Amino acid sequence: MEWKASDQLIAYPDALGFMEQRIADIRTRAADECVWLLEHPPLYTAGTSAKVADLLEARFPVYDTGRGGQYTYHGPGQRVGYVMLDLKARGVQDVRKYVRDLEEWIILSLHALGLTAERRAGRVGLWVVGANGREDKIAAIGVRLRHWITFHGVSINVNPDLAHYAGIVPCGINEHGVTSLAALGVDATIADLDAALEKNWGNVFQP
């Protein structure tokens, strides 16, 4: 398993190209599985369920992807985790279990930083309940599989500019908002999150 953590903003096409090559190499055993933690410059991505009406204002570049889900935002202050695993080799050919495992990984990692994130029935991703009682999204999940090898992955809001979400209906959900560790008063850095993610990986995903 290779862990990559990038300090610089990574262009979306470059990240996609890396994932495409890596999953091809994993299939032929030319490379190891990989988790890549990074940040993108501001952009929107559209999943396979994205509705045109949910793109309210294309204020940033918009990329169509093959991942599941709808529109989401990526940008500085949001940690993206691209996860490339061979589920067949791991004996876990179950997409729902894989998504729940990603959720559990984030739940444990955020708990280590002092934040309780929760699942909600019928909604992919992780949610927190604010002081006003409103449920806001703290982490998004969108995955794709090819020959049972995973790519794309998760995004977790540390301290992004939440105003940038105004150009879309995030994940097609109008009735709930988005939040971040910083907005919730959690004093954690990208490096703190990276450390928590790496530490809790083995508690969910076996070698």
**Span 32-52, pLDDT tens digits:** 999 999 999 999 999 888 898
**What pLDDT, on a 0 to 100 scale, did the predictor assign at position 179?**
95
The alpha carbon dihedral of 121, 122, 125, 130 has a sign of negative
Three-class secondary structure of residue 62 per DSSP: strand
Q: Against a cut of 0.75, is the pTM above it?
A: yes
Q: Check pLDDT > 60 for residue 172.
A: no
Q: Check pLDDT > 90 for residue 123.
A: no
> Is residue 34 annotated as a catalytic residue, yes or no?
no
Q: Check pLDDT > 90 for residue 170.
A: no
Report CA Rg, the chain: 16
> How confident is the model over 56-99, as pLDDT tens digits?
998 999 999 988 888 999 999 999 999 999 999 999 999 999 99
**What pLDDT, on a 0 to 100 scale, did the predictor assign at position 171?**
61
Residue ranges per structural domain of the chain: 2-87+94-201
Q: Which of the four pLDDT bands, split at 50, 70 and 90, describes residue 169?
A: confident
**What pLDDT, on a 0 to 100 scale, did the predictor assign at position 175?**
55
DSSP-derived secondary structure letter, 192: H
Residue of 35, 171, 178, 188 marked active site: 171
**What pLDDT, on a 0 to 100 scale, did the predictor assign at position 17?**
97
DSSP-derived secondary structure letter, 7: E
Provide the CATH topology of domain 2-87+94-201: BirA Bifunctional Protein; domain 2 (3.30.930)
**What pLDDT, on a 0 to 100 scale, did the predictor assign at position 173?**
57
d(CA 60, CA 193) in angstroms, rounded, equals 26
d(CA 7, CA 88) in angstroms, rounded, equals 32
